[in-house]
Chain A
Amino acid sequence: MYWVQKDTMKIQLIILYCFSLFLWTNAHATTLRMAFDADPISLDPHEQLSEGTLQFSHLVFDPLLRWTKDGQFEARLATHWERIDDQTMRFYLRENVTFRTGHPFSADDVIYTIQRLKKSPDFRAMFDTVETVTKVNDFAIDVHTVHPNPLLLNIMAYVFPLDRLFYAGKDQIIKYGDSFASHNVSGTGPFILESRELGSKMVLNRNPNYWDAASKGNVDHIIMTPIRADSTRLAALLSDDVDFISPVSPIDIKRAKLSDDIQLVTIPSTSILLLHMNQQRREEFRDVRVREAINLAINQTLIVEKILKNYATPAGQLSHPRFLGHQEALIPKYDLDKAKQLMKQAGYEKGFRVSMMAPNNRYINDEIVAQAIAAMLAKINITVDLKTLPKAQYFKEFSLKSADIMTLGWQSDTMDSNNIFEFVIACIDEKTGMGAYNASQYCQPEIDQRIKQANREMIPEKRQRLLQEIETILYREAAIVPLYWQSIIWAAKNDVHVGDIINDQNNPYLGDLFIETR
């Protein structure tokens, strides 16, 4: 009898021991389960310039420098930088950093990466400005630009150094086929990719040798699931299947707020929504009075309040308050009587009929916003034939400029006004790619000349004046209809401190994410 008891006790002890071991490891491994609406299309950070790719780059790679929440630059793999002359900037690199493979990080990797960026179809337009990169020593490089470039740092925030020894020789960038870089990855980032099932799951583990020991991030594992349907994504958070989601649809916000253990975090992004009025297709739009009437008839504030539930900022110009070209004075105006008067003066009292196109799954509530705009224009007797399309079809129509009024959202890659101007309102020039998204087919030499000047102007005050002048001209000419800056909305469990790591470019710095122990 005695020995039986002793044995059971032994077993019990073993079980207890195993259990405590299990508890111990569990208590110390913090897992973040997150669901976003998109996943990176490839592991190659240079294959596509998209939000998904950049979010992934911040996980597995480190940039030379990155934006902080308040719009400053923060040193990452570059420790500091200085301007040598108008066309040269020196970057000093961090020492004692290693890649996932164990290869040490040095200047050669940065030079290699910039050269590869210059070959990438998606990135090369941005990096055309870099003429050469020279090595000063193992931990310093000089970047020479083709002409003085005031935005060099903004561009260098896109340099996520790759492991040269890992990639070299098999580094072709292939957009639609198999390549080494699209399936294999080696970076210095806070996380290491463990597995990836395209379109359904990605698992990352914390990099044990991560250089940034000061980071308060404590996430050991990330399980990322792309969930495309808004309602499913929110349901996953509410049912405790994930901890962190983005984006949240405005109609779901009320429901999300009902839960006590969920927090909603929102930041106004710099991405602007606007309407193009095509002046080539419509003679009426060539009359500034008609364009102004349209601007006056559309009530941005009402749209933001009623449709977007205040998760956006009404815009009277293209430059976000953070951008250099922003002017406080240019606010959206709404004046229906004046709009009617202007239409009368222009000889269109009885109005006219126009076609309008908008996407229905690209921007927050885009379809409803388009319908509201059509209703607002009806008040000045402009009858709108509205057609909304899924984004895949919409952007094809957009490039064909198939409707008189078209919706566009634009996020400046360089976080600068001039990027918007170049793509959205500059005169169309197929050779240089200027005005590629100018579906107004509006051309104002005064603006083009200032865009070119601002690209080389190194004195911030002068540059600011140039950019602000462009906004003034646009406002005066009522050339386009700025609508609003969208907000980005995240939702997370209360113990996940997402508020500290998000920013207006929607690149959450998950390496620094802190989760309270559960």
Chain B
Amino acid sequence: MLIFLLRRLIQACVVMAIISLISFAIQDKLGDPVQQMVGMSVSVEERNALREELGLNDSLLTQYGRFLQNALQGDLGTSYYYKEPVLDVIFDKVPATLELAFCAILLVVLIATPLGVLAAINPKHWVSRILMVITSIGLSIPIFIVAILMMYLFSIEWNLAPSFGRGQTTEVFGLWHSGLFNQDGLSHLLLPSLSLAIALMPIFTRLIRAEMMEVLQSEYIRFAWSKGLSSNRIYFIHALKNTMLPIITIGGIQAGTLVAYTILTETIFQWPGMGFLFMDAVSRVDTPLISAYLIVVGGMFVVTNTIVDLIYGLVNPTVRLASHGL
């Protein structure tokens, strides 16, 4: 276990180092940060002086060396726009994104699991068939269309939920501004988390259905039936548990998709989270913030996959961590 975690730590470092190198290499293509800082009428001389001060005239390699040196001391740079250390800026926005992702995952689990199970139990029922059609449509509709449609229906036409922002937040333990504990915050969460959930739900429903149908054919389930166990116990305890294994793996991989989708959802709903921050940083050519975001997200990927692997071991004790993956 310890060796496994240590390996993962090294892996995380390598991943983040590679990401930082890539983000530095593409910096030149993102635009000119100085252009964003000054007005149109500022002279070339003035711009060059600023560029020199920022160290942008040095070669990429020199800049990267300087960045690494600072990074080793825990300083990933200062955002040009926020004028604060980039990590502070990012971690300031983390709660909003985590809450959004958490609610989306909760919705997925609460809705997709029973639907998938029901579709597996009665595969020929008309409800199951319709469900399958809906999920295949859902798989092919891009999330921004879902989000814009929901915004149009729920906030413009029916006026049921606010169209943008995070609403009121309450402070939890002095370190987390949460929107989960008051009505305003929750109503703001509704549309973004629902659109995120809708993007992820079809694949999970289909996956659970397919896995469940396979499991229901297996020997031990037939044995359970002949033993006379109640159908609820068979479906939801014995069968579902074994269905979950591949689902968790896919879930871990989907965590990446979730990050990608939060960027879109947050931009559409003006949700003040990390994804929105990133899009903003790109449009402002806030290069330190862009690099730091990519590094942090890379780190998060490694962490979620590690957690998934740990859960894997819990669900199925036959899986040995040390032999599983790196």
Point out residues on A near B: beta carbons under 8 Å: 41-42, 48-50, 121-122, 125-126, 175-178, 182, 197-201, 225, 227-229, 231-232, 235-236, 238-241, 361, 390-393, 395-396, 399, 410-411, 413, 423, 430, 433, 436-437
Contacts and interface: CB of A to CB of B under 8 A. Distances in A.
Contact of A235 (B44, B82, B151, B284): B151
Given A48-B39, A231-B148, A225 B164 contact: yes
Interface in B245-282: 267-270, 272, 277, 279-280, 282
Contacts of B283: 228, 361, 390-392
Contacts of A198: 81-82
A232 B195 CA distance: 15
B39 A227 contact: no
The 4 A-B pairs of least Cβ separation, nearest first, read A49-B39, A392-B31, A239-B155, A433-B43
B161 to A, nearest CB: 8
A178 B83 contact: yes
A179 to B, nearest CB: 8
Contact of B163 (A236, A391, A392): A236
A49 B78 contact: no
B201 to A, nearest CB: 23
A180 to B, nearest CB: 12
Interface residues of B, number: 48
A41 B81 contact: yes
A236 B42 CA distance: 35
B143 interface: no
A299 to B, nearest CB: 28
Interface in B159-179: 159, 162-165
A201 B165 CA distance: 10
26 contacts: A41-B37, A49-B41, A121-B50, A175-B50, A176-B78, A176-B83, A199-B81, A200-B165, A227-B164, A227-B270, A228-B280, A232-B151, A232-B164, A235-B151, A236-B163, A241-B162, A241-B164, A241-B165, A392-B282, A392-B285, A393-B30, A396-B31, A396-B35, A430-B44, A433-B44, A437-B40
Contacts of B227: none
Nearest to A430: B44
Interface residues of A, dominant DSSP: loop
B80 interface: yes
Interface of B: 29-32, 35-46, 49-50, 53-54, 78, 80-84, 148, 151-152, 155-156, 159, 162-165, 267-270, 272, 277, 279-280, 282-285
Given A182-B83, A235-B156, A390-B31, A241 B42 contact: no
Nearest to A200: B272
Contacts of B269: 232
Contact of B155 (A125, A176, A201, A235): A235
Nearest to B288: A176
A239 B159 contact: yes
Contacts of A361: 283
A437 B42 CA distance: 11
Given A125-B41, A200-B272, A232-B269, A392 B164 contact: no
A63 to B, nearest CB: 17
B294 to A, nearest CB: 17
A240 B163 CA distance: 9
A284 to B, nearest CB: 28
